[in-house]
Amino acid sequence: MKILVAIKRVVDFNVRVQVKPDGSGVATDGVKMSINPFDEIAVEEALRIKEAGKADEVIVVTIGNNSAQQQLRTALAMGADRAILIETESELQSLKAATSLLNVVEKEQPGMVIMGKQAIDGDNNQTPQMLATLWKRPQATFVSKLEINDDTLLATREVDEGLETIEVRLPAVISTDLRLNEPRFVKLPDIMKAKRKPLDIIAIDETLSGFEDKELTIQKYETPQARQKGIMVESVDELVALLKEKGLA
């Protein structure tokens, strides 16, 4: 079985994000970029499945410009077998990204697609669900535990009420939650080995045949407003009075 893992290049989660002065986007010049943390968990889970003898190959794929090869090489250093870059200079929204990934999925015919539940830049939580719908295959989202049994898998999901376990028939799309695993540390010898692993580049237009572009237009980016200073009260009566004064009670 092949496992296809979709990853995304994002601003590292330790970096304080800055909006460009003209409000046209997030400043990325000179900023450290990394694999989206949820996607790194997806790579780790795919590798563990392979190491358990339940998969033969792990393929990582991303959509982005040439710089995204860095994140693909990191995934290869973790242990993935080969990588695919869908090259574009544009930032793709969820449906377009899912459509592009579908083209790779149909060519590779994986037994499972694993990806993070969301990217920390847009926080959309849409691409896994859209890909499963376009592929017409089952999905298990927000997965915190995974168990494969022949042609099915048991997925424990994080939901509002707590946890639920569902059975899904393969092939399927899985999106990972933070508690699924802890990604391994990449060592220098593995980084050197990753340079010799295959990395294929595909033009974005080759993956979007017939796609009708109906994307949203982002007018402006703004930093969040500063949080207002809290007010200390001496009693419940004073709290109720303040809430009434502000029209909240």
pLDDT digits (tens, 9 = 90+) for 110-162: 999 999 999 988 888 999 999 999 999 999 999 999 999 889 999 999 888 88
pLDDT digits (tens, 9 = 90+) for 174-194: 999 999 999 999 999 999 999
For range 74-78, the mean pLDDT: 96
Predicted local distance difference test score (pLDDT) of residue 66: 93
- Model confidence at 69, pLDDT cuts 50, 70, 90, reads very high
pLDDT digits (tens, 9 = 90+) for 4-55: 999 999 989 888 888 888 887 788 888 898 999 999 999 999 999 999 999 9
- Beta strands 139-149 and 152-159, pairing class: antiparallel
Shortest CA distance to 115 belongs to which of 128, 97, 96? 128
CATH number assigned to the domain with residue range 2-218, chosen from the 4 options 3.30.450.40, 3.40.50.2300, 3.40.50.620, 3.30.360.10: 3.40.50.620
d(CA 64, CA 82): 17
pTM score of the predicted model = 0.85
State yes or no: pLDDT of 77 exceeds 90: yes
**Angle 219-133-131 from CA coordinates, rounded to 5°:** 60
State yes or no: pLDDT of 213 exceeds 70: yes
Burial of 82 (0-12, 13-18, 19+ CB in 10 A): middle
Predicted local distance difference test score (pLDDT) of residue 232: 87
β strands within the chain, DSSP E = 2-7, 9-11, 33-35, 57-64, 82-87, 112-116, 139-149, 152-159, 162-169, 172-176, 199-203
Shortest CA distance to 45 belongs to which of 133, 128, 135, 112? 112
- Model confidence at 219, pLDDT cuts 50, 70, 90, reads confident
State yes or no: pLDDT of 249 exceeds 70: no
